[in-house]
Chain A
């Protein structure tokens, strides 16, 4: 690990000011320290934000505010999240291990970086780690990689589970900067597609700090998080689906869907939901929804399997949610 200056922030503005000057925030550290050991991340200054007052889960109208420093564990086991936002509890519990979830925070998890093997190996080219060096994955080892929203510069995936559920729930990220100005960004717009700036994972500007994530009023229905991975625990998603589906009089009355493991961001497409709502559930309907999801899909050899896998995973989730038999 390269030497760095360690500072502890006493106030949000203090942290934000240091970050405007190039410091990197550390909360749980489970992703950042891993990358610092690999010298993928080499901050000159680390600002420890753990003492900032952002560790609570609080009611906000009919919804809920999850503080930026709330651990993944605290969110997953919270009585209201288990009862009203089960898809979020399920997604968090499907990720990492208990040891990591005990340290990982809400904001840190949103900012989790890709697990692309080229990104984490400084001997390899990577436009995300070092812009302009090329993408090793496009013609290389690409099993984990994206099939939606890729660019000719980067095919990395966003690796997390929590944000996929937050995307289905249409949660909102609250952000503040050193001047005290705050803004709200829907989780659906927080992460970016790689385009020609793959080094930029999300819309945060220098000095901006996430203070909380707001969950809107609960949506009744069946909450499902289905994660397909290469071993039954502690592995990143090859494909995941977060779903909230409600039936009424034999028709789909509500559908919120988001997908993990397929793109540089949690994938949400309102056209998929429009295809489903108001319809009588059937395998052919689910196939049409998958056609919408995968209309622009492009695979890269090793990850060709992800396109049929996404189709089948979506169908399996919708069957479970609506009672249609496969």
Chain B
């Protein structure tokens, strides 16, 4: 089966060593997804697989035939930005912007996880419906580093969208 990226089918790479990240950037030209550490430590490469967020650097493209991948290019365009993209612009949720596609993919999934009632390490009661405090946002986004340190504005952007969604 092919791999489906942003609603388009693509052939899998022939070299099994190709990470999903390298496949997206090098093989099919979707350079919105960024390579930071290439070891799962920074989150710049975060994409959605079947709506679940993962580090695309730590998985092989050949393992994803039949999967639906969504990258930042699939979430919005400069003319039709998604709500999180608009909120990051409004709240100045970046400086250099390198981590931003990963931050936005990650936050997209995070809002779905909250809606599904998943707890986090910051959740007091595992059995209660989680609420999106700043502490929860910071914990749930801890897999996305920002070397510029735009964290407070990133939290504000996500809180803005979460507030509008609820």
Task: Give the contact stretch, choosing among A15-23, A87-95, A268-276.
Answer: A87-95
Complex CA–CA separation, A86 to B142 (angstroms):
22
- Are B53 and A86 in contact, CB atoms less than 8 angstroms apart? no
- Are A99 and B39 in contact, CB atoms less than 8 angstroms apart? no
- Are B126 and A90 in contact, CB atoms less than 8 angstroms apart? yes
Complex CA–CA separation, A234 to B17 (angstroms):
27
- Are A33 and B60 in contact, CB atoms less than 8 angstroms apart? yes
Partner of B110, one of A26, A50, A89, A98: A98
A305 close to chain B: CB less than 8 A: no
Contacts of A6 in B (CB 8 A): 16, 60, 62
Task: Give the contact stretch, choosing among A75-83, A128-136, A141-149.
Answer: A75-83
A187 close to chain B: CB less than 8 A: no
On chain A, the number of residues with a Cβ less than 8 Å from chain B's Cβ atoms is: 35
Contacts of A77 in B (CB 8 A): 116-119
- Are A97 and B142 in contact, CB atoms less than 8 angstroms apart? yes
A163 close to chain B: CB less than 8 A: no
Contacts of B126 in A (CB 8 A): 82-83, 86, 89-90
> What is the distance, in angstroms, from B90's C-beta to the closest C-beta of chain A?
25
> What is the distance, in angstroms, from B69's C-beta to the closest C-beta of chain A?
14
> What is the distance, in angstroms, from A247's C-beta to the closest C-beta of chain B?
20
- Are A33 and B119 in contact, CB atoms less than 8 angstroms apart? no
Complex CA–CA separation, A50 to B46 (angstroms):
21
Tell me the A residues contacting B by CB distance below 8 Å.
Answer: 1, 3-6, 26, 28-30, 33-34, 37, 46, 48, 50, 73, 76-77, 82-83, 86, 89-90, 93-94, 96-100, 102-103, 232-234
A29-B60, A37-B39, A83-B127 are known contacts; what are 7 more A-B pairs with Cβ within 8 Å?
A: A29-B63, A48-B63, A73-B52, A93-B120, A98-B53, A100-B143, A103-B58
